């Protein structure tokens, strides 16, 4: 029994849960959470081993699906998302895969927003399609399109909000109602906001997906993913992980768990810098448009104000001149890291049409609004004037 077991923790603020939830100290009395780097666990007797394998009680068996460090990360994240339970996975895509494989079967139908991460489109369209799961892609911002796409076989509604990379915002209450009317589940990728800015379960979602690789870690160190929701749904996912094995390692879980301790502070800083940069980019002549939900002229602004406690650290903007201009801008930058990752303390820059969304067809990119001139910046924690100065190098290259 530890202080963190008390009922007070359930009533604590998110910042406190991010530091105190999920702690189970050993007899050594360590203050920081230990890393249980073991593949298996010792049984007290043959009877004990049989009981653990039968599921008669919860105890450690094998680190693919039971590990104290992983469990601590899961409990902490579930508390922050205000969910009953969480299941950690090897990556964000593994979290989406585990959800679909555990909850869908051949003949089922999925409705997914068009503007999701490129690999998410590939998973639904190609790989799940190979197993008889059909997916309809619709506009994230049009609930009537979601309702029109619904079928008797619809089992899952999937979206990410804000979206990657246009920062469009879904009306989660409206989508939750559509899912409920269909007897389907609403699954929300909360990667861009994290529980520090948005808690989809409180808005009607059934499951929340995370790429812990991004803001939950916060420093680009490890891969990880997670799913949060009702205990009954998590049992299905645990069964998939136990059988198929896309589990997070104890070390990666520990890194993400420690990352949660500073999540709220980091997200505030990311939001402040991104807001400043977005407003500044709007004043630059070579820019056609800036996509950031914190701008009052963004189509998702009002929804973001209602659903979120901040607008996030990711934005995108379109420069005049298409791909050639976008690449010229990126080449001229020196501070920002040219990488497809986001959620890092280091600011990153990327050209979505030829990287994160390159496997989509031209028609799919056009429908999703991924133009050849689009650049995505995930604003890090450097001084905002240094980030702007780096963008100035890009604009100077365009004007030469």
Name the DSSP letter for residue 4. G
Which residue has better confidence, 378 or 3? 378
For residue 250, the model assigns a pLDDT of: 97
Asked whether the predicted pLDDT for residue 3 surpasses 70, the reply is no
CB of 234 within 8 A of CB of 207?
A: no
Q: Are residues 292 and 200 in the same domain?
A: no
Region of poorest pLDDT, from 16-20, 199-203, 207-211: 16-20
For residue 348, the model assigns a pLDDT of: 98
Q: Are residues 114 and 208 in the same domain?
A: yes
Q: Are residues 151 and 283 in the same domain?
A: no
Q: Are residues 306 and 167 in the same domain?
A: no
This prediction has a pTM of 0.93
pLDDT in tens, 65-114: 899 999 999 999 999 999 999 999 999 999 999 999 999 999 999 999 99
Q: Are residues 151 and 243 in the same domain?
A: yes
pLDDT > 90: what percent of the chain? 85
For residue 30, the model assigns a pLDDT of: 86
Asked whether the predicted pLDDT for residue 337 surpasses 90, the reply is yes
For residue 17, the model assigns a pLDDT of: 92
Order the strands of the 154-160 sheet from edge to edge: 85-89, 225-229, 207-211, 185-189, 154-160, 109-113, 134-138
Give pairs for 267-271: CB < 8 Å, separation 24+.
267/194, 267/196, 267/197, 267/215, 267/310, 267/312, 267/313, 268/196, 268/310, 269/381, 270/215, 270/312, 270/313, 270/379, 270/380, 270/381, 271/197, 271/310, 271/311, 271/312, 271/313
Q: Are residues 252 and 118 in the same domain?
A: yes
For residue 5, the model assigns a pLDDT of: 55
Task: Kindly report the CATH number assigned to the domain that includes residue 237.
Answer: 3.40.640.10
For residue 57, the model assigns a pLDDT of: 75
Which residue has better confidence, 93 or 399? 93
Asked whether the predicted pLDDT for residue 4 surpasses 70, the reply is no
For residue 1, the model assigns a pLDDT of: 29
Task: Kindly report the CATH number assigned to the domain that includes residue 314.
Answer: 3.90.1150.10
Region of poorest pLDDT, from 14-23, 65-74, 188-197, 374-383: 14-23
For residue 386, the model assigns a pLDDT of: 97
pLDDT in tens, 296-323: 999 999 999 999 999 999 999 999 999 9
Q: Are residues 88 and 134 in the same domain?
A: yes
Q: Are residues 119 and 232 in the same domain?
A: yes
* Mean of the per-residue pLDDT values of the chain: 94
For residue 367, the model assigns a pLDDT of: 86
Provide mean pLDDT across the span 333-337: 97
Which of 260, 281, 300 marks a domain boundary? 260
CB of 78 within 8 A of CB of 228?
A: yes
- Bridge pairing between strands 348-350 and 374-378: antiparallel
Provide mean pLDDT across the span 216-225: 97
Which of 260, 293, 321 marks a domain boundary? 260
Provide mean pLDDT across the span 55-68: 87
Q: Are residues 333 and 191 in the same domain?
A: no
Asked whether the predicted pLDDT for residue 257 surpasses 80, the reply is yes
CB of 316 within 8 A of CB of 189?
A: no
Burial class for 105, CB neighbours closer than 10 Å (0-12, 13-18, 19+):
exposed
Q: Are residues 29 and 96 in the same domain?
A: yes
Reading phi first (left if > 0) and then psi (alpha if -120 to 50, else beta), residue 183 is in: left
Half-sphere exposure of 48 (CA within 13 A, CB side): 8
Q: Report residue 6's pLDDT band, with 50, 70 and 90 as the boundaries.
A: low
Which of 260, 282, 307 marks a domain boundary? 260
Residue 317's domain comprises: 264-399
Asked whether the predicted pLDDT for residue 269 surpasses 70, the reply is yes
Q: Using the Cα atoms of residue 185, residue 186, residue 192 and residue 198 in order, give the sign of their dihedral.
A: negative
Q: Are residues 282 and 156 in the same domain?
A: no
For residue 314, the model assigns a pLDDT of: 98
For residue 26, the model assigns a pLDDT of: 82
E strands in the chain: 85-89, 109-113, 134-138, 154-160, 185-189, 207-211, 225-229, 287-291, 314-319, 337-338, 348-350, 374-378
For residue 2, the model assigns a pLDDT of: 46
Asked whether the predicted pLDDT for residue 32 surpasses 50, the reply is yes
Provide mean pLDDT across the span 136-163: 97
Provide mean pLDDT across the span 282-309: 97
Q: Are residues 203 and 235 in the same domain?
A: yes
Provide mean pLDDT across the span 275-296: 97
Total domains present in the chain:
2
């Amino acid at each position: 029994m530890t202080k963190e077991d008390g009922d007070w923790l359930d009533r604590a603020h998110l910042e406190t849960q991010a530091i105190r939830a999920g702690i189970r100290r050993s007899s050594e009395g360590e203050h920081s959470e230990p890393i249980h780097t073991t593949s298996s666990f010792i049984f007290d007797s043959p009877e004990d081993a049989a009981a653990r394998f039968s599921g008669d009680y919860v105890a450690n068996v094998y680190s693919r699906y039971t590990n104290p460090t992983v469990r601590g990360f899961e409990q902490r994240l579930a508390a922050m998302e205000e969910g009953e339970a969480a299941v950690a996975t090897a990556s964000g895509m593994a979290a989406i895969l585990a959800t679909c494989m555990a909850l869908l079967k051949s003949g089922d139908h999925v409705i997914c927003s068009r503007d999701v991460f490129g690999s998410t489109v590939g998973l639904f369209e190609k790989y799940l399609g190979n197993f008889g799961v059909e997916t309809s892609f619709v506009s994230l911002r049009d609930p009537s399109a979601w309702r029109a796409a619904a079928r008797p076989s619809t089992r899952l509604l999937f979206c990410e909000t804000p979206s990657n990379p246009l920062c469009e915002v879904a009306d989660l209450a409206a989508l939750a109602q559509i899912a409920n009317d269909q007897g389907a589940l609403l699954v929300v990728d909360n990667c861009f906001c994290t529980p520090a800015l948005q808690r989809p379960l409180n808005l009607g979602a059934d499951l929340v997906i995370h790429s812990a690789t991004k803001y939950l870690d916060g420093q680009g160190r490890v891969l990880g993913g997670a799913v949060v929701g009702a205990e009954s749904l998590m049992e299905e996912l645990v069964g998939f992980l136990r059988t198929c094995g896309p589990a997070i390692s104890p070390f990666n879980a520990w890194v993400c768990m420690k990352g949660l301790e500073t999540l709220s502070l980091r997200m505030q800083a990311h939001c402040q810098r991104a807001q400043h940069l977005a407003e500044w980019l709007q004043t630059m002549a070579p820019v056609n448009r800036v996509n950031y939900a914190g701008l009052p002229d963004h189509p998702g602004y009002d929804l973001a104000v209602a659903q979120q406690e901040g607008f996030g650290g990711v934005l995108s903007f379109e420069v005049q001149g298409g791909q050639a201009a976008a690449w010229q801008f990126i080449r001229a930058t020196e501070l920002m890291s040219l990488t497809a990752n986001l959620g890092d303390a280091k600011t990153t820059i990327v050209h979505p049409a030829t990287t994160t969304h390159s496997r989509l067809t031209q028609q799919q990119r056009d429908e999703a609004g991924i133009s050849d001139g689009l650049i995505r910046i995930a604003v890090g924690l450097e001084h905002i004037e240094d980030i702007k100065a780096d963008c100035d190098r890009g604009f100077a290259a365009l004007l030469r």
